[in-house]
Structure 1
Amino acid sequence: MTGYDDYGMPVGAYEHSEAESLTHQAWRVARAFVVYKVQPKVRMVSGKWSWRRVLSVGNLLILVWWLTLYWGERTVFRDSVSACRWEEWEKWRSNANPHRLVFVADPQLVDPHTYPGRPWPLSTLTVKYTDMYMTRTFSGIQMTLYPDSVVFLGDLFDGGREWSTRTTKSPEEQYRKFGNNFWLREYDRFGRIFFGHWRDGGSLPRRGQPGRKILSHLPGNHDLGFGKGIQASVRKRYIAYFGDGNRMDILGNHTFVSLDSVSLSALGQENPEPVEELWRPAMNFLDGAKEQRQRLVQEELRVMRGLKRTLPFQHDIMEGSKLGAELPRFVDPVTEFPTILLSHVPLYRSQGTPCGPLREHWPPTPWAKDQTEPWENDDRNAIAVRGGYQYQNVLHKEITKQIAEKVGDIQYAFSGDDHDYCEVVHRGYASAGGGIKEITVKSISWAMGVRKPGVVLVSMWNPVDEKGSSLEKDAYESTLQTHLCLLPDQLSIFIRYAMLLGFTIFVLAIRAALIASRGPQPSPAEAPLLPVSENASSAENEKAALSSQHADNTQDSTGSHSSNSSLASAGSNLQVRNMNSRTRSVSPNGGYGLPKMQPGQPLVQYAGYYGTPEDTEKKVKTWGNVTTKKKPKKTGLALWSQELRNSILWVGTIVLSWYFWLLWNG
């Protein structure tokens, strides 16, 4: 006998059936979603598709905004860096493999010291956009140019000298609330912008190069202060995190001599003895610069020959009195590499020394009609020789002279501090011949008074033999080539955005005015529910005539307007069924509003009649503050304002979503 379960199914009916797999269930759910959700939406959209809808004013403006924002947030940055590709300006022979270096000057991260009176949110937006600008440009340099070395020339922070340490306070009262923890957050911020994007292009060295290097040890006056204004604890904090500003490096067979010139400048001020701890380390470094430079070249040549970097000791007999001194090392006679000086503050030059045509903020004075030689003195185009609170535009003349003599054979010098480009040749100091060519590098930040920030690219090609002698000395006059790489004009980008915003509002206002001039358009819900027929049957015509006759009689007796179930047009016989005619009378006492039957008239003539116009008039119902009465449609200025507001909201929502996505993704 067959048994049944609680659901009325035979017992054992599903014993031999296999359970549906999870994959099959997921497939059925996905198929149902496509069939019942996606396909109806696609049919609805495709049914409403037309070129007029696609090419509407709002959609065209959205397209223009999308292209403009992508240009301003992506294309202009990529193109500016791509225009500085090494192959575009290097002039080495085809088999050369130069060492490529980028100088970055004066990032000066915007902080409360930069714009102390700027209110929120403008201050926050300034920090956000300056950081984002430097992040994009530095990352683009790494990915597109992929330099072997990056060297910063000081002023990493703007108010670094003002932030209190654990033992000292800021000399200015308004900055004492920013302590050591604030400086540490700024240090982390600097690391996220530059150190965090150092490897965006990769970490492996290029072929033929020993490795990649980034140097940020050189301090500026905004990092430490200037001269006697430097606090010893602030200087120690900077050295602890970035390294000593006085050091030497061998890059591309060139000797780079970095000098903490802001601390050394205390020696040139009145009564420098009490602050000897500031300038003494730099002076000791200069005193031993020539010996250290020669030793570094010897060590570099040993590495190139596959030997240990450390120089071996001399095997010689020494007197007992000399055992306490440094043991002498074996020294090979070598030819020294070209020497390059790095200083945050530019070297001294006389007032009015022109900086050349690449200076942006103050270009050269136009030549006179009969002039054939450049101006020897051009105050407009020069770096002003002056100083003030915690700054000095150029070093003291005597300090500059000591630097040139103690380092010796300086061929090039690179500096920062001025924020604009400047190129001069110092012929009044000791050099390797032909004077010291100094280039002051532009700031990389667009908030430092220049519309087009920049960096300086340096290409160095100096192949040498085992003794350090150059193998290309006769082929080229110089072992170093430079190029000014200009970065995007951020203010110009913002101005273009503002102009496009004004154009967008103007176009949408004209569109709203055209719509308001045509007046409100009927909605599809107001169309007749029943079809309109021009060829009515004889029965319908007879019924319409009787209804019209009854309506006339009712109007004569009551003085009110009648409503029929059908309206007859004498000219076209168009029949339109009235929705109000289907409303029943609220009182059954009058026989539901049926008219008195006329003898000889068939009952069908009275079908669909439900009372007089007074009975069928629809009353407005209210529930509290809510009414079923339709609001009158807006016209004129109200309609224009509504259309303008709605179109701005539509375009603005799409455009801002795209803009914030570009910002969020770098």
Structure 2
Amino acid sequence: MSYAYQHSTGASSLPSFNSIPSSSTGLVSQACNRAIPAAKQWIEEGVTTLRSSRPRSRDEVRNSAKVVLRRLFSIPSAVILLWFFTLWWGERTVFQKSIDACAWEAWEAWPQGATPHRVAFVADPQLVDPHTYPGRPWPLSTLTVRYTDQYMRRSFSHIQKHLVPDSVLFLGDLFDGGREWATRTTTSPEERYKKINDNFWKKEYGRFMKIFLDPWLNQEYTPLDSRGRKLIASLPGNHDLGFGNGVKEPVRQRFQAYFGESNRVDVIGNHTFVSVDTPSLSARDQPDPATGSSSSSGKEDDPWPIWKDADDFLNQASSYKAKAEAEELQQLQHKPEKVKFEHRIVDAEEDVIKENPKPESAGFPTILLTHVPLYRKPATPCGPLRERSPPAAPDLEEDEPNALRIAGGYQYQNVLTPIISTELVSKAGPNLVQVYSGDDHDYCEVSHREFNGSPNEITVKSLSWAMGVRHPGFVLTSLWNPIDPQTGESTQQGSQPTIQNHLCLLPDQLGIFIHYAVILGLSIVVLLISSTYHILSTPESVSNGSVLPLTEQRAYPRHQYQTSGTSSSTLTPPGGLFSRGGLTTPGYPSAKSPHDTYRGADLDIGSPNLKDKAMYRPARAAGLRQTVTFIGREFIHSIRTVAQVVLPVYFFLIWRW
């Protein structure tokens, strides 16, 4: 199996998001340099015919002009034009229409003059690697990598260029096989991947940076919110780390070293975002593989369990939230950050150092981010926007096909357990108003009535077209919570919502490929019919005659013979008419009946009484083969003419995204 990836630098040159250089475009440039001259030649041949010699009459001018017009207004030219519009539609128009349908102004409903903070949520890019399709042969494996990367890079570039979100938040599963690849101290858990070392993961990291960070850095940005923009990709998924007891500490440390702390609090648009590493936290209520007991029942002297960091973070979540909100208010007031201890001189014998009072929470609305969705009762409907199985009827209490499947397996679990889910909701609050998750690859929206406050949860679609959904997507969120910079209290009257969400669907890439295949088949049929018609309608274009005639003139030697009743010699062609008197000619059989005589110079090949008609069958077969040969040559020439123009256009559209 062979996979092609863009090469990136080593570990020493990958400490930050902006350290990955753009890849060379030499391969595409060479293809264009070779193909474009051939395409030009096709157009210039007609012009060269006109310029090669000075016409001596108006008829010659007209004939030369007709040659040029025939080339410009021909069947291959029509096929080329069809492909041009098809490729422009498949590589440009459909993407632009998808992004235009998500314009903020088309669905935001804030009061006039509002300045919301705009966020794009991206889930489960899951960069395709050897772990994704282990049995897929080359070159299909390489093409899968190329086209999935190109699709996400093009989609994300359109998001940055046309929607220009203030912040982009990723919801985990950045890689498909991130948990499988070796670190500096460990090897892959699967035997077939043990020869792959730590450098492979770093190349995957370089791919991720090229697809997502490069468009982010290259985008000119004029923020509506004066506090700037953020890109946060530190939330891990089960494909990045594993799940529960399957998470390995070196794998998690590597992920956090390159993407940042997984358990964190961020204040964005006057909302507090709480991100929790739920794949690691889920190990707390899983049986320990060694003892069979719950991991949370271990002794105090046991090694630091994999769930401990996330659990400690949740226990201190209220303090982290209060500190982050206080720092945000200080920035709004343009005040320096408060220090933990007072700046004063103390006596050396004083054993108590007073801390400054802990900051109080400003009470911003809280948003919880988790890769694995929260628990819900089985058959809880996901709503009308779910692609895989739309609801059977509106307002159903239970709809199994439309719901998330409550199940688990090797290194995954579709939803968190009820205990973990309840703890997340209670400790991330109060003021929890929204939950965003990933993992399922399809859209799902539920209101959790089983939890305090009934928070709304949106499971975001995958951005990749290789993750089982025909229409990938992302979620746009508009945040508007005007506050008093001194107190942090909202200045809106009443308890109006501060969050608006919108699902954005991206093009069906598989459908585009199917459309290309249909146009390809149509082009082949049209060019074949055109080539056949051209050869059969112009037999002079075929040397030695491409159309076999139905009659043939036989060349006989001239003989001298006498007819009855005359003494003179007469030269008569052997194919001439004989009399009924049975006169014979030396060397020729006598005619026994009128039906056995020749009919002049033309011999009817199709006559049933022609004894030597078999001698004409090879000639007929040879003529047919010759006709087919010339049709094939004309067809191949037409295919080559179209390809020399269409392929450079296609590679250019891909190269330029």
Give the TM-score category using the shorter length.
0.7 to 0.9
1:417-475 C-alpha deviation (Å, 9 max, x unpaired): 000000001122233xxx1100000000000000000000000000100211111242x
1:404 alignment counterpart: 425
Give secondary structure in 2 for the equivalent of 1:351: coil
The aligned amino acid for 2:181 is: W
Counterparts of 2:346 and 2:397 in 1: how far apart (Å)?
Answer: 59
Q: Deviation at 1:647?
A: 1.1
* Among candidates 331, 353, 370, match of residue 303 of structure 1: 331
The aligned amino acid for 1:328 is: E
1:78 alignment counterpart: 96
1:101 alignment counterpart: 119
The aligned amino acid for 1:396 is: T
Q: Deviation at 1:126?
A: 0.1
**RMSD across aligned C-alpha pairs, in angstroms?**
2.8
* Correspondence 1:201-600 to 2 at 5 A: 201-202=219-220, 204-270=221-287, 271-272=294-295, 273=298, 276-311=304-339, 313=341, 323=351, 327-331=354-358, 333=360, 335-365=362-392, 367=393, 374-409=395-430, 410-431=432-453, 435-465=454-484, 466-474=486-494, 477-518=496-537, 520-522=539-541
* Correspondence 1:96-135 to 2 at 5 A: 96-135=114-153
* 8 Å CA contact 2:542, 2:630 repeated in 1: no
Distance 1:266 1:319, change over 3 A: farther
The aligned amino acid for 1:649 is: R
2:171 alignment counterpart: 153
Q: Deviation at 1:309?
A: 2.7
Does the alignment pair 1:43 with 2:51? yes
* 8 Å CA contact 2:323, 2:360 repeated in 1: no
* 8 Å CA contact 2:441, 2:468 repeated in 1: yes
Counterparts of 1:229 and 1:53 in 2: how far apart (Å)?
Answer: 66
Distance 1:521 1:136, change over 3 A: same
* Among candidates 121, 137, 144, match of residue 162 of structure 2: 144
2:109 alignment counterpart: 91
Q: Deviation at 1:310?
A: 2.9
Q: Deviation at 1:306?
A: 1.0
Q: Deviation at 1:324?
A: 6.9
Give secondary structure in 2 for the equivalent of 1:349: coil
Distance 1:504 1:275, change over 3 A: farther
* 8 Å CA contact 1:221, 1:262 repeated in 2: yes
* 8 Å CA contact 1:148, 1:205 repeated in 2: no
Q: Deviation at 1:512?
A: 2.0
* Correspondence 1:627-666 to 2 at 5 A: 635-666=626-657
Counterparts of 1:41 and 1:94 in 2: how far apart (Å)?
Answer: 66
Q: Deviation at 1:243?
A: 1.0
Q: Deviation at 1:487?
A: 0.5
Q: When the two structures are aligned, how many residues end up with a matched partner?
A: 518
Q: Which runs of 5+ in 2 are unaligned?
A: 1-44, 54-60, 288-293, 546-557, 561-621
Give secondary structure in 1 for the equivalent of 2:363: coil
* 8 Å CA contact 2:483, 2:491 repeated in 1: yes
Give secondary structure in 2 for the equivalent of 1:375: coil
Counterparts of 1:181 and 1:312 in 2: how far apart (Å)?
Answer: 41
* 8 Å CA contact 1:143, 1:200 repeated in 2: no
Q: Deviation at 1:330?
A: 3.8
* Among candidates 194, 217, 242, match of residue 212 of structure 2: 194
Counterparts of 2:126 and 2:225 in 1: how far apart (Å)?
Answer: 34
Counterparts of 1:494 and 1:136 in 2: how far apart (Å)?
Answer: 16
Counterparts of 1:418 and 1:523 in 2: how far apart (Å)?
Answer: 63
Counterparts of 2:349 and 2:403 in 1: how far apart (Å)?
Answer: 56
| Alignment TM-score, normalising by the size of structure 2 | 0.74
The aligned amino acid for 2:142 is: T
| Alignment TM-score, normalising by the size of structure 1 | 0.73
Distance 1:130 1:519, change over 3 A: same
1:600-635 C-alpha deviation (Å, 9 max, x unpaired): xxxxxxxxxxxxxxxxxxxxxxxxxxxxxxx99974
* 8 Å CA contact 2:99, 2:159 repeated in 1: yes
Give secondary structure in 2 for the equivalent of 1:214: strand
* 8 Å CA contact 2:241, 2:248 repeated in 1: yes
Distance 1:66 1:467, change over 3 A: same
Counterparts of 2:92 and 2:174 in 1: how far apart (Å)?
Answer: 25
1:100-127 C-alpha deviation (Å, 9 max, x unpaired): 0000000000000000000000000000
Q: Deviation at 1:641?
A: 1.9
Q: Deviation at 1:653?
A: 2.1
1:524-575 C-alpha deviation (Å, 9 max, x unpaired): 999xxxxxxxxxxxxxxxxxxxxxxxxxxxx999xxxxxxxxxxxxxxxxxx
Q: Deviation at 1:38?
A: 14
Distance 1:209 1:42, change over 3 A: farther
1:54 alignment counterpart: 72
The aligned amino acid for 2:447 is: V
Give secondary structure in 1 for the equivalent of 2:113: coil
Counterparts of 1:98 and 1:418 in 2: how far apart (Å)?
Answer: 29
* 8 Å CA contact 1:311, 1:330 repeated in 2: no
Distance 1:655 1:321, change over 3 A: farther
* Among candidates 81, 85, 101, match of residue 67 of structure 1: 85
Q: Which runs of 5+ in 1 are unaligned?
A: 1-36, 368-372, 527-554, 558-630
Counterparts of 1:163 and 1:524 in 2: how far apart (Å)?
Answer: 65
Counterparts of 2:264 and 2:541 in 1: how far apart (Å)?
Answer: 81
Distance 1:646 1:297, change over 3 A: same
* Correspondence 1:587-626 to 2 at 5 A: none
Distance 1:484 1:249, change over 3 A: same
Q: Deviation at 1:322?
A: 9.3
1:614 alignment counterpart: none
Q: Deviation at 1:82?
A: 1.5
Q: Deviation at 1:201?
A: 2.5
Higher relative contact order (CA 8 A, sep 6+): 2
Give secondary structure in 2 for the equivalent of 1:300: helix
* 8 Å CA contact 1:113, 1:158 repeated in 2: yes
* 8 Å CA contact 1:163, 1:179 repeated in 2: yes
Distance 1:290 1:319, change over 3 A: farther
Give secondary structure in 1 for the equivalent of 2:129: coil
Stretch of structure 1 that moved more, 463-472 or 632-641: 632-641
Give secondary structure in 2 for the equivalent of 1:96: coil
* 8 Å CA contact 1:333, 1:467 repeated in 2: no
